[in-house]
Structure 1
């Protein structure tokens, strides 16, 4: 997962800017530019955060959604979308209900029903959806699982009465109200159902595995001709969309032309040059770091750009089960000597990333700028050396650091090495360019590496999608590997605290508890946060309402974008 790059603007599937005049961009048409490729537009198969952010503003509506505009706190305050409200929950936090609003239609004019919601979710248990899409229905709905972790329910076409009965109990309809019964308490389940895997799907339009790019809309726009996987397609106004029934999307453009397939540097240059064919264009992928300072230092360009925090936090995970990092003093010294400022500079500077001490990013409740270790942005090598000398080990202490190798990452890791060496560490970098995460989570990798570079992005704006995923050993550490817990951290007290926090009804108190757990893990050297990634998007002079939504991963928010 990562920030992509942008593409040359086109109208339909014909390149713009290579001989065409301004009439190539239709009046009221917004052109969005992305390298792609889009893997699918099927809501139960989508897993790309960028594609989810686009689809959820253009043609996929969900029970709840995150509003556009305002500050981060406003954006993450989930609202009813298809549902009249953000839902109601019982005292156990295991039974959630949502009532559909009136007046919501599919593009053929038929109403969106509770049974459509049920059918959409049921698809996620069948192939290819179960292996390609997000697995949150499997994770949270109260449906028994087999010994291997797969569901006893295999989808709507399985002809299995027992499995179907389990699904019918977990997801039920009473008129226009859908009720979910969960296997675990969840105070933020109303944020989970904002994901497209919980979106409705009209059974009569289901093409199964052959419907990869089929779009049947209940949002402001519909796909007017077959999607071209090599170049994109155009979404025209859906005449059956009623703005009065949609509290989230303004639907300002008359159409949205999605273009994919060209490198970001070329696309961004076309947009900032503001040629007639590109005045109605916006990039969906971040501008390359080499172009960012030019954009932000020019007031006219900065005025039509946005530079939000993006999805990912980069961090280091020390190997706490084998080697030198088992020693808490060594981990503390390593954290103290970490030069985040140099790392950020190597990534491209303040427009590309910002130093951070936490895995709870700025888009999440409970985020704090506090420094639990006290290293400061450039590290404290002298203090780190004193702590390392107190570890009982002979200096220099050899540390092997694995990371995903790219030209930028090579520079960023090299920027960290000097501070570590000044503190008394002898660093061996282990660049891995292929299948990085599979390689470092494999059994036996902890015999070869002392510190693992990693990154993580929340699935919705809550630390409940961060700390449990990374440090709950019950879901990570097995004989088959360490999952996303690369350092093999296992602490039953932490596991129990994760369970306790997840069951808290008060989301403000829950966020504070996640922040406290995050800080305690940082103090113990279980992780060393490095940088919060950022993105920079640019638009032509005819584009209005440009903004990004950090509740949607920091991507451009098309709910409010328009064209002059």
Structure 2
């Protein structure tokens, strides 16, 4: 079940962790993704409140989507980062929210690899070495990956960051009772033996006894250190392992400072900043320069401000108003939550505010899933007719217009290299009622075609669903809505729900910039559909040939070829009406007039980029 983040109550996506304990014994190991659906860190908070009818298309000349202003290399000053929060953890193996991962990864938490910061959205998916000298060397079969650590990387106490520190940090992921909340991809991909029930034979570094020693030996074989070289042995070919390693969960932890269950908000930095004092839940903390950080050992972070004051517990509207007022505090502040729609309209209308705001795509895509086991949508032509009848433009208008979202045919967000513009149904984003009726006629069904659609209900979602219903009725459908207000994703994952629902609304965001974190977790029937339910394949879509194609695509070594493969998988899904894309969400961030290098990183979730943000006197 996806947890809800109170920072984004209306647009929190349903994304993994994958249900590893239940699925590890299946045909092939499953990669566990980040719980991004749990915690979008206000990427779209406020962006889902209807204010007035607006055009669904943003104007790129007035709504910068990546970066604004001239770039500077000014060092010094204090930057205020203002957020609703709450931050759930700063422990690298416990961080789950994409925004928290992005902030930590640019400020204090380093990993073997990282996404290179760029003001060009097309370049933001480039993976580079961070703690490692490069993005790693895979074996021919993609089951062994080797990395060499950089010289000169130090913890905040001046001690070197070692290979053993990296291995120890990763080992903490296996301590599932003591270290909870973060992604557990390491359990799924590392070649550590499993018990008969699918659980790992390694219980993490805190376990004791003979079994624990045996488990530790197995882990040490899968994650082996030789001076500054670390070698990973994987249980299955993994082409995007370098991207996976960019998550803080694969970052180092110094064993001597690990407080196990008591260290949720501990920060022991290997990055440019360290936490001064302690983190105060609901209030925040101040990050100051790590005196042992060296720019020469860090190809990713510029670290321009002298300190970053992170303040949480602030309402998004109050934050936006404070920054827009541009008083002494507001001038050196940046909002980490998206401005509410009414304020978005003001920001886009005032040139001085437009010049210090960005409106990035977040990677969160809303979509619909026809239930292939229902009498209505077991016919592919009827599914395609529904896709043809879907007015995505009307949906975007209902959720706030062009600053809130872009119409989307595909589930692959723009920041993922596999993204494409193909529309196999060729009905456009406004829908084509005539084409839909023709498809229904080919299917030989009696119109109007009655069906039930379930969706997560709130005032904005109700309006958005009403906009879709209007288009479907024009095309020969008779939709009946089923609003769900509580425990939405656990409700639709219950197999009993599918007996009375023909279409499900859902949303999703990738864990890292690859189609592998979008399509298999949603449509690979081999890892989703069991006797206990559909997993996240809510429509019970099953195509063995596509399952095999996804497995083969995961093991393609060349990055570009692999992502082209995911685009091909997506086209086949669309051609069969496996799902209907609706919209990719946007956020709108505003900064004070003394903030420079304001940009957003689409690969990290459309969040404010802290790698090179600066303040000027």
Pick the aligned partner of 1:479 from 531, 549, 552. 531
Of 420, 440, 459, the residue aligned with 2:492 is 440
2:365 corresponds, among 297, 308, 313, to 313
**Separation of aligned partners in 2, 1:62 and 1:131:** 19
Q: Which residues of 2 match residues 303-452 of structure 1 at below 5 A?
A: 303-452=355-504
1:128 Cα deviation after fit: 3.9
1:492 corresponds in structure 2 to 544
Give the Cα separation in 1 of the matches to 2:566 and 2:310.
38
Residue 171 (structure 2) pairs with residue 122 (structure 1): yes
Q: Distance in 1 between matches of 2:522 and 2:291?
A: 45
SS in structure 2 at match of 1:478: coil
Partner of 2:49: none
Pick from 118, 121, 143 the counterpart of residue 69 of structure 1: 118
The question of whether the paired residues in 1 share the 8 Å contact of 2:271 and 2:290 is answered with yes
Quote the residue 1:465 is aligned against.
517
Q: What secondary structure does 2:417 align onto?
A: coil
Deviation at 1:445, TM superposition (A): 1.6
Contact 1:5 1:287 in 2 (8 A): no
Q: CA deviation at 1:297?
A: 2.4
Deviates more, 1:334-343 or 1:277-286: 277-286
What is the CA-CA distance between 1:265 and the residue it aligns to? Answer: 1.0
1:149–1:331 CA distance, 2 compared to 1 (3 A): same
Partner residue of 2:242? 190
1:285 has 2:337 as partner: yes
Deviation at 1:52, TM superposition (A): 0.3
Which segments of 5 or more consecutive residues in structure 1 lack a partner in the other structure? 8-26
Residue 142 of structure 1 aligns to a residue in which SS? coil
Alpha-carbon displacement from aligned partner over 1:300-345 (angstroms, at most 9, x marks no partner): 1111011111020111011012221111121011000000000011
How far, CA to CA, are the matches of 1:241 and 1:506 in structure 2? 34
What secondary structure, in the 3-state scheme, does the structure 2 residue paired with 1:552 have?
coil
Aligned pairs (5 A) from 1:146-157: 146-157=195-206
Where does 1:220-259 land on structure 2 (aligned, <5 Å)? Answer: 220-259=272-311
1:35 aligned residue:
84
SS at match of 1:272: helix
Tell me the residue number matched to 1:112. Answer: 161
**Offset of 1:392 from its aligned partner?**
2.3
Q: Contact 1:222 / 1:237 at 8 angstroms: preserved in 2?
A: yes
Q: RMSD over aligned Cα, in angstroms? A: 1.5
Contact 1:95 1:181 in 2 (8 A): yes
Pairing partner for 1:50 from 99, 121, 124: 99
For residue 267 of structure 1, report the CA deviation from its aligned partner.
0.9
Question: What is the SS of the residue equivalent to 2:279?
Answer: coil
Shift of 1:63: 0.3
Query: Which among 184, 206, 217 is matched to residue 165 of structure 1?
Result: 217
Pick the aligned partner of 1:59 from 88, 101, 108: 108
| Matched residue, 1:94 | 143
Most deviating of 124-133 and 503-512:
124-133
Shift of 1:208: 0.6
- Contact 2:41/2:98 (CA < 8 Å) preserved in 1? no
Query: Secondary structure of 2:277's partner?
Result: coil
**Distance (whole Å) between structure 2 residues aligned to residue 129 and residue 288 of structure 1:** 38
Indicate the SS of the match to 1:261: coil
In the alignment, what sits opposite 1:82? 131
Q: Write out per-residue CA displacement over residues 230-250 of structure 1, whole angstroms, 9 at most, x where no aligned residue.
A: 111111111111111111001
1:137 corresponding residue in structure 2: 186
In 1: Cα distance, 2:434 partner to 2:343 partner: 36
| Higher deviation after alignment, 66-75 or 83-92 | 66-75
Task: Say which of 262, 269, 273 aligns to 1:217.
Answer: 269
CA distance in 2, matches of 1:157, 1:207: 11
CA distance in 2, matches of 1:40, 1:499: 34
Structure 2 residue aligned with 1:559: 611
Unmatched segments (≥5 aa) in structure 2: 1-11, 14-39, 46-75
C-alpha displacement of 1:5: 4.1
Deviations 1:461-504 (A, max 9, x none): 11011101111111111122211111011111111000111111
Question: Quick one: distance in 2 between partners of 1:314 and 1:563?
Answer: 36
8 Å Cα contact 1:268/1:538 also seen in 2: yes
2-side partners of 1:130 and 1:183: how far apart? 23
Q: Distance in 2 between matches of 1:138 and 1:58?
A: 26
CA offsets 1:386-420 (integer angstroms, 9 cap, x no match): 21133222211111111111221111111100110
When normalised by structure 2's length, the TM-score is: 0.87
